[in-house]
């Protein structure tokens, strides 16, 4: 074969960017594509990733490139051949658009677009019969958050993310495709390198709860994450078993790479301010002796502004990672530190991450060892999320506007009679819903501190019997040790201390997970068919233990010690133990035909300890899926690069959440005071697993040489055998019995539309996501048998965790039970108490807490060294309630009450009423029907503006320096609620009424990254 290559390569200084080379290239006779790419790589120095075997059928005909760029050549290849050509990070990637599933080695790469799926198995994206969305590490580190899950907001379809109001590092609520379980956990399953991870959370729950905290997933250093695969449906996650119905966040961590040593340093400094605050008034004061601001109009408006109480929070994050290796052995090290102060004084958070990972090949590259370990130190103080206790915002927001707030800043005064400092608070603000104390005393003298040590060890060993079959064994150990202390100083309200000397509690919590699996993997091509199969077994043991002491201090004020606890007063000490174990067999098979038709089958059987000795001690659930590459089957217009349709059916099962209730495992409570307490629930031997059945269909379309991408998914899931309690009359001898029934349906749509386009030095990537989920309680209890008398009964509504659930409604429905009464003429009726009369006989549905649909718009622009990115998110529909606004109105400190007084009262249907009486009624009695707000909100979620400096500016001591200005929650474009509707105090299923929730955060900062 005759080949003539003539290269005249003109390079600009520091030619690290592939689009900065002009190439003159003439081919006078046909040449194989592999030869062409090899020569192009040698002459230009541009790394070109390809596999010659996959490209063996391609030849380059006679062609001449004159003053062309690498991008020009890439465009030519995609226009004239069925190739996928990508340019990224200064390298070129070339593969057959319909190539084989061949894995490259060394400098070669996998020829197909691979995504990480269940159990960490890499599969061709085109073969998947379900929706998988992949997020690269850059999306997690561009605008960082102490809990990296918050950075996914608006970037993936089908996922609802609510950030914690506890502040920096708080727990995040993540729900995919709607809530499914009435009583179980609806948060997603987190998986690290193919192995499930426990995620204990300290999120606050309820109006009277103590201060909250973070969760295990927030311990991770985002710089250690290579990519995230989002498996929104049970079809994608079926091999994970019990938790698969809720979807999976699959995290793939970084490992060392062969080649020269790479060192990466990063630094981020961010500053925080409150994002959304209630609207207050400062023109009306309080009457003498009153703590409510319903007095006369002030001659001079008060200078008190609750916003001044909040400090400017700050978060400093530093990280370093090192990658070094050869073809036989690769090592990765990283260290990171996060130190933060919140917007509430004396709120703090810290985290220290240390990670090491080594991968090695032995026995002629047939044996592959992967070992990693991580150590995490994490702590926090005063993670205040909301509530009526231990919350400085109640007394801050309600402070009488006619008084001087400066007088209480000196929050403690010395008491010579006792020889200690005591709280200064000349008010007595107590209601059944909250107790207000000096806000500065709360943040400085009512302390909740947490310190965690966590050890994670992963190991994987794989042996290749041949190039098409291997066996893999993996082990993961995750040990979490947490110590939590609460210290309430002497003179704290006795409701919390039951003593004038103070209160102390200390508890130690331990969560240990041991996971192991063994898999036989096959990837074999037989003529026109290709078989990818896996069969294996897994073991998952989880132990949760806690032990603690606590109570009133006895002898010495403010001596926080177990020896100083009052033995005569009951405390909160105790001990608990919870353990579950699951053993499973699983298998999957994917049969491909001519790389255009794929049939996938999976099956899994679980033996869960929660169901031992029950009617159904094991759970089997299958799935089937079909994927068809239409663009391979049919001759479509050239503008269509790729077209796939897919469909799947899946069943997954979850054991009951209760422990010690099946025959042979029933346990009784034991306490020093009450002794052994038998269970009052009627014994029930016929427990079955909760099951979810799901249908999913979708379409994937790529056009204009893969520059335009469209992904559509339609789904429906139904969850059966929900487990909850039903009451029994006292004459039966039992308080109630377990019921397994119900049918909760979720159906919806997930849509993603993306464009990746470049024009010379300018590039634009944009991705739009749309999600709609409709939740429906199709059935609760119908024709169920009472185990005591054998009678049949129906239940069409239930109260679960304070939420009313009705058949025909949804799990997010919100009801109210109080409205103002009216007389025959429509006027409000004045009662004897001085307030307006209230009708509490009706239960009125006022809306639902879940949105009708959500949208996200992610944009990235590049011009030479400049880069600009921003994300806009929108949640449309749904409602929220504000208990804060109700109490602000009742105390006369809201802007609405001042405006009403300025107008001479509140006018309703042409009738004017006294403002104090009206707001003291609807606000003081917390009639939530009057404090319901549209939850629709649109915001500029995050933004980044940066510049990348090339290494030649620093004599090539470094490869690249990138400096960026970053921010989150920069602009609330639309919002009618008096707080941030996307902020949540709890990760639980049912959203409670907001009550003095800590404001969400707006942040500004600077990010610097250095690559050596």
Q: What is the mean pLDDT of the chain?
A: 86
Q: Are residues 90 and 233 in the same domain?
A: no
Residues 521, 589: contact at Cβ < 8 Å? no
pLDDT in tens, 600-631: 999 999 998 888 888 888 889 899 999 999 98
Q: Are residues 164 and 47 in the same domain?
A: no
> CB within 8 A of 703, min separation 6: which ones?
639, 640, 641, 709, 710
Q: Are residues 483 and 584 in the same domain?
A: yes
What would the two tokens of residue 956 be? 């090539």
- Indicate which CATH number applies to the domain containing 53: 3.55.50.30
- Taking the mean position of all CA atoms in its chain, how far away is CA 416? 51
The pLDDT value given to residue 5: 33
Q: Could you tell me which residues are beta bridge partners of residue 378?
A: 351, 452
Q: How far apart are CA 70 and CA 44, in angstroms?
A: 9
> CB within 8 A of 843, min separation 6: which ones?
804, 815, 816, 817
Domains in the chain, number: 2
Q: Are residues 77 and 153 in the same domain?
A: no
- The answer to whether residue 6 sits within a structural domain is no
Listed residues 96, 125, 157: the one ending a domain = 96
- The answer to whether residue 114 sits within a structural domain is no
What would the two tokens of residue 578 be? 């919870």
* 3-state secondary structure (DSSP) of residue 435: strand
Q: Are residues 57 and 193 in the same domain?
A: no
The pLDDT value given to residue 781: 86
Listed residues 96, 112, 146: the one ending a domain = 96
pTM: 0.86
Beta strands in 104-171 (DSSP E): 114-116, 122-124, 133-136, 159-164
- The answer to whether residue 927 sits within a structural domain is no
- The answer to whether residue 828 sits within a structural domain is no
pLDDT in tens, 499-539: 999 999 999 999 999 999 999 999 998 888 989 999 999 99
Q: Are residues 558 and 674 in the same domain?
A: yes
Residues belonging to the chain: 1012
The pLDDT value given to residue 116: 66
Domain assignment of residue 86, given as a range: 23-96
What is the b/e burial string over 835-846, where b = at least 16 CB atoms within 10 angstroms of the residue's CB?
A: bbebeeeeeeee
The pLDDT value given to residue 103: 28
* 3-state secondary structure (DSSP) of residue 899: helix
Low-confidence residues in the chain, pLDDT < 70: 1-22, 28, 79, 82, 88-89, 97-120, 122-123, 204-206, 209-210, 236-237, 242-243, 432, 673
- The answer to whether residue 3 sits within a structural domain is no
- The answer to whether residue 176 sits within a structural domain is yes
Q: Are residues 747 and 654 in the same domain?
A: yes
Q: Are residues 60 and 172 in the same domain?
A: no
Q: How far apart are CA 787 and CA 881, in angstroms?
A: 40
- Indicate which CATH number applies to the domain containing 289: 2.40.170.20
Angle, vertex CA 963, rays to CA 961 and CA 966, nearest 5: 150
Q: Quick one: residue 51, left, alpha or beta (phi over 0 = left, psi -120 to 50 = alpha)?
A: beta
For residue 301, the 8-state DSSP code is -
Q: Are residues 47 and 178 in the same domain?
A: no
Q: How far apart are CA 767 and CA 135, in angstroms?
A: 12
Listed residues 46, 68, 96: the one ending a domain = 96
- The answer to whether residue 132 sits within a structural domain is no
Per-residue DSSP letters for 430-447? Answer: E-SS-EE--HHHHHHHEE
Residues 640, 628: contact at Cβ < 8 Å? no
Q: Are residues 870 and 795 in the same domain?
A: yes
Q: What percent of the residues of the chain are helix, what percent strand, and what percent coil, each to the nearest 5?
A: 15, 50, 35
Q: Could you tell me which residues are beta bridge partners of residue 271?
A: 314, 1004
Q: Are residues 417 and 290 in the same domain?
A: yes
Return the H-helix or E-strand segment holding 86.
Answer: strand 83-88
Q: How far apart are CA 831 and CA 771, in angstroms?
A: 48
- The answer to whether residue 194 sits within a structural domain is yes
Q: Are residues 525 and 592 in the same domain?
A: yes
């Amino acid at each position: 074969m005759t080949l003539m290559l003539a290269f005249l390569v003109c390079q600009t200084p520091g030619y690290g960017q592939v689009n900065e080379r002009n190439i003159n290239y003439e081919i006078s006779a046909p040449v194989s594509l592999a030869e062409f790419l090899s020569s192009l790589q040698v002459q230009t120095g541009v790394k070109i990733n390809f596999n010659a075997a996959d490209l063996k059928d391609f030849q380059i005909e006679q062609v001449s490139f004159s003053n062309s760029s690498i991008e020009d050549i890439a465009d030519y290849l995609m226009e004239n051949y069925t190739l996928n050509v990508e340019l990224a990070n200064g390298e070129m990637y070339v593969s057959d658009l319909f190539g084989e599933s061949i894995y490259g080695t060394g400098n070669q790469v996998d020829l197909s677009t691979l995504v990480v799926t269940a159990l960490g198995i890499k599969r061709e994206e085109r073969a998947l019969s379900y929706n998988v969305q992949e997020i690269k590490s850059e999306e997690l580190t561009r605008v960082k958050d102490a809990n990296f899950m918050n950075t996914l907001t608006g970037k993936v379809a089908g996922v609802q993310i609510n950030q914690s109001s506890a502040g920096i590092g708080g727990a995040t609520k993540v729900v995919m495709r709607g809530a499914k379980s009435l009583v179980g956990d609806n948060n997603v399953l987190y998986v690290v390198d193919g192995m499930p991870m426990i995620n204990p959370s300290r999120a606050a729950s309820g109006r009277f709860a103590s201060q909250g905290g973070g969760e295990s997933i927030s311990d991770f250093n985002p710089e250690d994450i290579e990519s995230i695969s989002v498996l929104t449906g049970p079809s994608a996650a079926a091999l994970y078993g019990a938790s698969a119905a809720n979807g999976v966040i699959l995290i793939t961590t970084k490992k060392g790479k062969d080649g020269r040593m790479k060192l990466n340093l990063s630094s981020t400094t961010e500053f925080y301010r409150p994002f959304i605050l209630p609207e207050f008034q400062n023109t009306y004061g309080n009457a003498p002796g009153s703590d409510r601001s319903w007095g006369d109009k002030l001659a001079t408006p008060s200078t008190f502004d609750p916003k001044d109480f909040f400090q400017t929070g700050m978060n400093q994050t530093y990280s370093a990672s090192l990658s070094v290796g050869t073809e036989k052995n690769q090592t990765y090290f990283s260290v990171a530190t996060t130190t933060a102060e919140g917007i509430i004084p004396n709120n703090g958070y810290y985290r220290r991450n240390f990670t090491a990972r080594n991968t090695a090949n032995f026995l002629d590259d047939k044996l592959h060892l992967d070992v990693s370990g991580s150590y995490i130190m994490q702590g926090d103080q005063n993670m205040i999320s909301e509530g009526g206790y231990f919350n400085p915002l109640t007394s801050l927001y309600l402070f009488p506007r006619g008084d001087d707030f400066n007088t209480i800043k000196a929050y403690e005064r010395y008491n010579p009679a006792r020889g200690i400092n005591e709280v200064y608070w000349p008010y007595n603000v107590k209601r059944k819903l909250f107790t207000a104390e000096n806000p500065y005393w709360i943040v400085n003298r009512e302390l909740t501190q947490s310190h965690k040590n966590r050890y994670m060890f992963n190991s994987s060993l794989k042996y290749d019997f041949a190039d098409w079959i291997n066996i893999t064994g993996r082990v993961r150990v995750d040990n979490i040790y947490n110590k939590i202390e609460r210290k309430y100083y002497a003179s704290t309200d006795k409701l919390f201390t039951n003593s004038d000397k103070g209160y102390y509690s200390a508890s130690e919590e331990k969560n240990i997970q041991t996971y192991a699996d063994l898999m036989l993997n096959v990837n074999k091509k037989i003529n026109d068919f290709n078989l990818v199969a896996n069969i294996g077994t897994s073991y998952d043991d989880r132990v949760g233990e806690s032990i603690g002491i606590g109570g009133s201090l006895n002898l010495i004020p403010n001596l926080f010690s177990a020896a100083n606890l009052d033995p005569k007063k009951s405390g909160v000490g105790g001990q608990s133990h919870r353990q579950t174990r699951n053993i499973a067999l699983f298998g999957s098979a994917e049969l491909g035909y001519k790389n255009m038709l794929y049939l996938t089958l999976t099956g899994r059987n679980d033996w869960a300890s929660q169901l031992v000795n029950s009617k159904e001690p094991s759970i089997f659930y299958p799935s089937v899926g079909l994927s068809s590459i239409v663009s391979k089957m049919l001759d479509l217009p050239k503008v269509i690069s790729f077209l796939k349709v897919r469909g799947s059916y899946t069943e997954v099962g979850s054991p009951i959440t209760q422990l010690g209730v099946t025959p042979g495992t029933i346990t009784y409570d034991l306490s020093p005071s009450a002794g052994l307490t038998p269970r009052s629930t009627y014994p029930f031997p016929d427990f079955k697993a909760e099951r979810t059945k799901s249908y999913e269909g979708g379409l994937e379309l790529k056009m204009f040489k893969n520059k335009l991408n469209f992904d559509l998914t339609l789904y429906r899931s139904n969850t059966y055998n929900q487990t909850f309690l039903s009451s029994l009359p006292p004459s039966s001898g039992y308080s109630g019995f377990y019921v397994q029934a119900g049918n909760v349906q979720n159906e919806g749509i997930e849509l993603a539309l993306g464009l990746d386009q470049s024009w010379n030095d300018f590039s634009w990537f944009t991705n739009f996501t749309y999600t709609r989920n409709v939740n429906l309680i199709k059935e609760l209890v119908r024709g169920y048998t009472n185990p005591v008398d054998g009678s049949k009964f129906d239940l069409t509504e239930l109260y679960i965790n304070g939420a009313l659930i009705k058949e025909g409604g949804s799990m997010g429905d919100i009801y109210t039970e109080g409205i103002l009464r009216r007389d025959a003429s429509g006027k409000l009726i004045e009662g004897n108490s001085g307030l307006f009369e209230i009708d509490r006989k009706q239960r009125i549905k006022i809306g639902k807490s879940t949105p009708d649909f959500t949208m996200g718009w992610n944009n990235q622009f590049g011009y030479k060294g400049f880069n600009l990115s921003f994300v806009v998110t929108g949640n449309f529909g749904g409602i929220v309630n504000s208990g804060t606004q109700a109490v602000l109105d009742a105390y006369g400190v809201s802007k609405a009450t001042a405006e009403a007084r300025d107008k001479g009262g509140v006018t309703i249907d042409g009738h004017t009423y006294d403002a104090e009486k009206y707001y003291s009624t609807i606000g003081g009695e917390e009639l939530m029907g009057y404090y319901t707000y549209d939850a629709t909100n649109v915001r500029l979620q995050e933004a980044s503006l940066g510049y990348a400096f090339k290494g030649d500016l620093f004599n090539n001591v470094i490869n690249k320096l990138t400096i960026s200005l970053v921010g989150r929650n920069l602009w609330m474009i639309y919002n009618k609620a008096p707080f941030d509707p996307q902020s949540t105090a709890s990760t639980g299923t049912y959203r409670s009424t907001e009550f003095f929730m800590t404001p969400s955060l707006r942040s500004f900062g600077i990010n610097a990254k250095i690559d050596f």
